[in-house]
Amino acid sequence: MIVVLMGVSGSGKTTIGTLLAARLGCDFSDADSFHPPANVEKMRAGIALNDDDRRPWLMALRKAIEDWEARGVDHVLACSALKRTYREVLAPNGDVTFVYLKGSADLIARRLAGRTGHYMNPALLDSQLATLEEPDDAVTVDIARTPEEIVAAILIALGRTPRGLSQAVT
């Protein structure tokens, strides 16, 4: 099973992805590490990426997904996957489970303002929210909950038992 945690920057993809992968007993990857250096520099400078910038990045992610599937391993991937067309590149065969980490712009802006050590310029939140096409076929989880509650809700939606969590949420 390949799970893609999607949402705008600051929605908690890396935090939740790390916890979820640990609960599932599989590896975790952050799609940010697949960006070419030019994309990172654009984002650091506060310049929004366009579809041409994202195309090779999305193809590299699809290749990684195919590799994980070929090896028969479960994997959790954090990836913004903001547009439906991006999600179609990542899962052309419907072979990925998308989990949308949804939150208010205010909550996400507060999180971004408090974040250090990440190249994503908080000024890009508005462009990400404008680009976001909310999925109608993903597991959707409210990010106003604690990370443990979010992971428990995802596990339940995936049909897994949320063992080892302080509080199960339905």
Q: Provide the pLDDT for residue 120.
A: 52
Q: Provide the pLDDT for residue 117.
A: 52
3-state helix vs strand vs coil in the chain, percent to 5: 50, 15, 40
Query: What 8-state DSSP symbol labels residue 1?
Result: -
The tens digit of pLDDT for each residue in 13-25 reads 999 999 999 999 9
Domains of the chain: 2-157 (3.40.50.300)
Q: Provide the pLDDT for residue 123.
A: 62
- Assess contact for 16 and 79: CB atoms under 8 A: no
Side-chain half-sphere exposure of 113, counting CA atoms within 13 A: 6
Q: Provide the pLDDT for residue 101.
A: 97
Nearest Cα to Cα of residue 23 among 158, 151, 168: 151
Cβ-based neighbours of 132, under 8 Å, separated by 6 or more: 7, 8, 82, 83
Q: Which residue has the higher pLDDT, 17 or 129?
A: 17
For 128-157, give one letter per residue: b (16+ CB within 10 A) or e. Answer: beebbeebeebbbbebebeebbbbbbbbee
Nearest Cα to Cα of residue 99 among 145, 15, 155: 155
Residue 27 has pLDDT above 80, yes or no: yes
Q: Provide the pLDDT for residue 75.
A: 97
Compute the average pLDDT of residues 108-121: 66
Residue 166 has pLDDT above 60, yes or no: no
Q: pTM here?
A: 0.85
Give dist(CA 53, CA 67) in Å, integer.
23
The tens digit of pLDDT for each residue in 70-110 reads 999 999 999 999 999 999 999 999 999 999 999 998 888 88
